[in-house]
Chains A and B, each alone.
Chain A
Amino acid sequence: MDFKNILVAYDSSSFSNRAFKRALDVAESNKSKITIVTVVTGIYQPSIGFTMKYSEKMLEKYTKTLQKTFSNLESAAKEKNIKISLKILQDPSVAKAITNYVNSRKFDLVVIGSHGRTGLNKMILGSVANSITQKVKCPIMVVK
């Protein structure tokens, strides 16, 4: 089994940074391609209500900051000659968006950090990581 197509679920937390580093190591030895996935969840706005629609202004702001962090990752990957691409998903549920994306495409490996930006317990998995490990149909690596 070769890991040609690697997906990294990224939310710029320290755990996801570690996951990215680990994915680079795996990609280096397998000469594989890395896809970075981030999910933009809707924000509650009184003018719109709970429909979770995206105001274009906010979305633009988010994409801009995402592109900035992505350029850092890209330079790190370029040093090791690894192809890398960014995919931004829009969904109110992070875990659902990532599992749907992974299951609808052919990925050989998913690398994910054990906790995201809101994890407080060091012992167990974060909610997103937990639900993704259970529902994804390809091998998954949880980095602590």
Chain B
Amino acid sequence: MAITKILVPIDGSKHSLKAFRVALDIAKNNNAKINVLTCLEKEDVGAWYIDKRTNKKIMSDAKKFAKDFLSKLEKPAADVNIPISLNILETKSASNQVITFSNSKKIDLIVIGSHGRGGFNKFLLGSVSNKVSQMAKCPVMIVK
């Protein structure tokens, strides 16, 4: 049951960055590869009624922003010699995307933060991490 492929869903929140740090430690111990996944939710964009082109522009801006953000993660991974691959996907539902991604790439472990950007309650789990921990087919580590 060696861990060779780790998936870290990242949305830029501090919980997800903490999860990334933990994933780095695990990868170091197991010589594993890290997959970073960022999901851009299509429904967030509500500018379609002004101009149809605005939608596309917002999406491409968001993609660029996400790319910039994820490229910052490459350096700490390169420092400890861990191969890392960055994925940015447009999707309707972030939690479903994480689950299908982990199934299709045969991920051994998902490391996820307990809350995302929308979490306000420190006590319970965020909705995405809750759904991923329930529906994913591989072990899930939730970092608080």
Contact = CB atoms under 8 A, between A and B. Distances in A.
A binds B: yes
Interface of A: 1-2, 21-22, 25, 29-30, 123-125, 130, 133-144
A33 to B, nearest CB: 16
B125 A25 contact: no
A139 B125 CA distance: 12
26 contacts: A1-B22, A1-B25, A22-B139, A25-B1, A25-B2, A25-B3, A30-B29, A123-B134, A124-B135, A125-B133, A133-B130, A133-B133, A133-B142, A134-B125, A134-B130, A136-B144, A139-B142, A139-B143, A139-B144, A140-B141, A142-B139, A142-B141, A144-B136, A144-B138, A144-B139, A144-B140
B22 A141 contact: no
Nearest to A137: B144
A143 B133 CA distance: 10
Contact of A21 (B1, B123, B137): B1
Interface residues of B, number: 24
Contacts of B29: 29-30
Task: Please indicate which of the listed interface residues A22, A25, A140 has the most CB atoms of chain B within 10 Å of its own CB.
Answer: A140
Contacts of A29: 29-30
Interface of B: 1-3, 21-22, 25, 29-30, 123-125, 130, 133-144
Contacts of A140: 141-142, 144
A61 B120 CA distance: 46
Contacts of B22: 1, 139
Given A1-B21, A125-B133, A144-B136, A138 B1 contact: no
A136 to B, nearest CB: 7
Given A22-B1, A134-B125, A135-B123, A2 B133 contact: no
Nearest to A138: B144
Contact of B134 (A1, A124, A143): A124
Nearest to A125: B134
